[in-house]
Every structure is written in C-alpha cells, then in structure tokens.
Amino acid sequence: MCSSASGKAYDRPYHHDDLLIIMKFYPDLPTEGVAAVMAALTDAFCPKPAIPIAFLELVDRARGNDCGYYPYPTLPFSAMDLTTAERVQADCMTDFHSVFEGFPLAERNQHLLNAALRTHFGVKIVFFHDCGCSIVPADVDAFATDWYQEINLHRSTAEAVGTEVVQVEDFNDPEWLGRELDMGPQEMRAYVRMHQALLALPRREYHIAPGQLTNFRKRFAEQSVLT
C-alpha cells in the first residue's frame, strides 16, 4: 500500500535516537534482546516508529503472560463487532493500523525478526489477514490452530464483504462500550501505552538525498541478469 505522510511528528522514518524514548515505556525488556529486534527491523529496511513500538509491546506482554481476549498476546488493528462484523477503531489505534494495513515488513525482515525473537525471547510473530498480529511460543504452529484459522477467516471475510469501519474517539465511547468486540482490557491497555510512546517522539526531518535513486537505478542496471 502507498500512502503520503500525514504531517504528524511520528509519521516519519524510525530514527535510532527514538529507541531511548520508546524504552521508557518498556523498561523491563532486556537491552540485548531489544537491540537484536531493532537490528532485524532496520536491516536494509526503513520502518516507521509505530512498527517497533508494536512489536516491543507484544514482547513485553508475552514476558508477562498478558494474553487478554486471545490465547496469546494479540494486537488487532481494529476490533471486530461479533454481531455485525463491523470493524471498530479508537483513535489511538489508527496510527498503528495505517502502518500495518499493507506489508509492514519486507519478508526478509520478518524472518530476521522472528529469528531474533526466537533466540532472545523464545517467541515469534504471526500475522492474520491484514488486521492484526499475535506473539506465540516459537515452537507453536499457530497456523494449524483453530483460533488462528478462525481469526483469519472471519476478519478476511469482513474485509472482503466491506463491513463498515466505525471510528470512535476512545475506549469509553458509547459506540465502543455498547458492542461485543474481540478486544478486552489487556488489548486496550496495550494500545494506550503504545500511543503514549508514539506521542512522546519528536519531529525529525528526513530527506531523500539528490541522486540517491539515480545511483540505485544505475547499480541495479549493472547487476541485472535480465536480457
């Protein structure tokens, strides 16, 4: 998915100085493990800050066995109404949904991330449809489980049908409270903390250097095996 910058201070490329700020919200995570995760996320890849925040949130929840509505710590990028299949999204969820609704990572970085998570935390990330991700023990075949397949089926069906996406201000909005949703207190607390971490980040300027893409095109042409 292609998108233009919104102008928000945190809607920009991740900067290595962001980590000092983000870690104030996750002080119990071990430095070595976090460094390995960040190396995986930034290896020949440029994520937005919301991506490492979301993954560090899941790691922190996994270490505390903070499972919530699902069998394992999960971040739905919108809550699904279990009666109407409408998707409901609080404002603090929007900036995470926007960066994850396409492919949030290159496939290579997903492999690197799960290798780092397996080595340092004994877990891995699995995605369902384009509407969320879970963190599970590294030896669990999540794709073969009923809960994963049901999430994937129901959420992809809602997207294919095109059920309404309802935007609410926060988790105390009557539109949120009056529905049976697939999110509980644990998931809501996670989003509040993630959003606080995002809002704490300063604006940083980033510019693509003149000639950067021209040089890439030249190098690519020299390496191409196509005729």
pLDDT, tens digit, for every residue of 111-139?
Answer: 999 999 999 999 999 998 768 899 999 99
> For residue 192, is pLDDT > 80?
yes
pLDDT, tens digit, for every residue of 47-66?
Answer: 999 999 999 999 999 999 99
Pairwise CA distance, residues 31 & 202, whole Å: 22
Q: How does strand 165-168 pair with strand 74-76?
A: unpaired
pLDDT tier, 227 (very low <50, low <70, confident <90, very high otherwise): very low
Could you give the 3-state DSSP secondary structure of residue 199?
Answer: helix
> For residue 188, is pLDDT > 80?
yes
Can you give the pTM of this predicted structure? 0.91
Q: pLDDT: is 211 or 39 the higher one?
A: 39
pLDDT of residue 6: 81
Contact (Cβ atoms closer than 8 angstroms) between residue 51 and residue 41: yes
High-pLDDT (> 70) share of the chain, % = 91
If you search the block for the tokens 């049901």, which residue do you land on?
150
DSSP state of 86: -
Residue 189: count of CB within 10 angstroms of its CB:
15
pLDDT of residue 208: 76
Contact (Cβ atoms closer than 8 angstroms) between residue 130 and residue 100: yes
Give the orientation angle of helix 31-41 with respect to helix 50-63, to 10 degrees: 140
